């Protein structure tokens, strides 16, 4: 996961967690810096008190018992009407397989829509934290969620360059980039 660090309206660092925490530890006023998770736009706080060289603690897994190999399946409660359970149970393989197939099909058909919505939410999170008092914020937010790229670009054109560039990256760029291995300054 990569992160970007802002001091007011200026991007001051970007990179992997280890690189960013190292940068923050060296910063004269780390409390004046805001760190954002690239891809989600969420503001994050790192515990800078933990030593960088401290070894991680590994937790041993409990030995597995007999049965099917671990497939990463997670059990959760699902609440459905009786007619839904009846239909699911009548499907080949039962309710679990039918639900997995339904979820996979929904992921395929709504994937682009879901990615656009997630990008809009990421951009809005960042905008709210950094650009909430900048001129045109409300109008830019409406243009963002209307997916009106031209109007959005027009409304944020006067914003500070680093803020403008980062919000556009969050809103409209593909997040499957090659990871950076160093801090950019």
Residue 146: domain span: 2-50+77-172
Instruction: Please indicate, yes or no, if residue 20 is contained in any of the structural domains.
Output: yes
CB 180 within 8 A of CB 16: yes
- State the average pLDDT over residues 9-14: 95
The pLDDT score that the predictor gives to residue 179 is 40
The pLDDT score that the predictor gives to residue 106 is 83
The pLDDT score that the predictor gives to residue 95 is 86
**Per the structure, how many domains does the chain have?**
1
Instruction: Please indicate, yes or no, if residue 128 is contained in any of the structural domains.
Output: yes
**Band of pLDDT at residue 62, cut at 50, 70 and 90:** low
Instruction: Please indicate, yes or no, if residue 13 is contained in any of the structural domains.
Output: yes
Instruction: Please indicate, yes or no, if residue 182 is contained in any of the structural domains.
Output: no
CB 33 within 8 A of CB 6: yes
Give the rounded percent of residues in the chain with a pLDDT score beyond 70. 82
Residue 124's nearest CA partner among 170, 173, 172 is 170
Instruction: Please indicate, yes or no, if residue 158 is contained in any of the structural domains.
Output: yes
67 Rama class: left (phi>0) / alpha (psi -120 to 50) / beta: left
Instruction: Please indicate, yes or no, if residue 27 is contained in any of the structural domains.
Output: yes
Residues 6+ apart with CB under 8 A from 29: none
Give the relative orientation of helices 149-156 and 137-145 as an angle to the nearest 10 degrees.
160
CB 183 within 8 A of CB 15: yes
Q: List pLDDT tens digits, range 96-148.
A: 888 888 888 888 877 788 889 999 999 999 999 999 999 999 999 999 999 99
Question: What is the DSSP pairing of strand 33-37 with strand 43-44?
Answer: antiparallel
Beta bridge partners, 5, equal 13, 35
Token code pair at residue 73: 């399946």
CB 104 within 8 A of CB 125: no
The pTM (predicted TM-score) of the whole model is 0.68
Q: What is the CA radius of gyration of the chain?
A: 22
Mean pLDDT of all residues belonging to the chain: 84
Task: State which of 12-26, 44-58, 73-87 shows the largest mean pLDDT.
Answer: 12-26
Instruction: Please indicate, yes or no, if residue 107 is contained in any of the structural domains.
Output: yes
Instruction: Please indicate, yes or no, if residue 9 is contained in any of the structural domains.
Output: yes
């Amino acid at each position: 996961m990569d992160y970007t660090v802002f001091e007011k309206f200026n991007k001051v660092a970007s990179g992997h967690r280890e690189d960013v925490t190292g940068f923050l530890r060296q910063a004269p006023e780390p409390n004046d810096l805001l760190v954002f998770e690239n891809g989600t736009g969420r503001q994050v706080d790192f515990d800078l008190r933990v030593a960088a060289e401290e070894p991680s603690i590994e937790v041993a897994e409990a030995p597995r018992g007999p049965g099917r190999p671990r497939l990463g399946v997670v059990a959760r409660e699902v609440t459905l009407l009786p007619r839904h359970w009846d239909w699911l149970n009548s499907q080949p393989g039962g309710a679990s397989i039918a639900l997995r197939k339904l979820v996979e099909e929904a992921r395929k058909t709504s994937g682009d829509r879901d990615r656009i919505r997630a990008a809009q939410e990421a951009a809005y999170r960042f905008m709210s934290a950094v650009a909430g008092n900048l001129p045109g914020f409300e109008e830019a937010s409406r243009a963002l969620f209307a997916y009106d790229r031209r109007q959005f670009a027009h409304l944020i054109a006067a914003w500070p360059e680093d803020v403008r560039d980062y919000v556009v990256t969050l809103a409209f760029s593909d997040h499957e980039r090659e990871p950076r291995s160093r801090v950019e300054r």
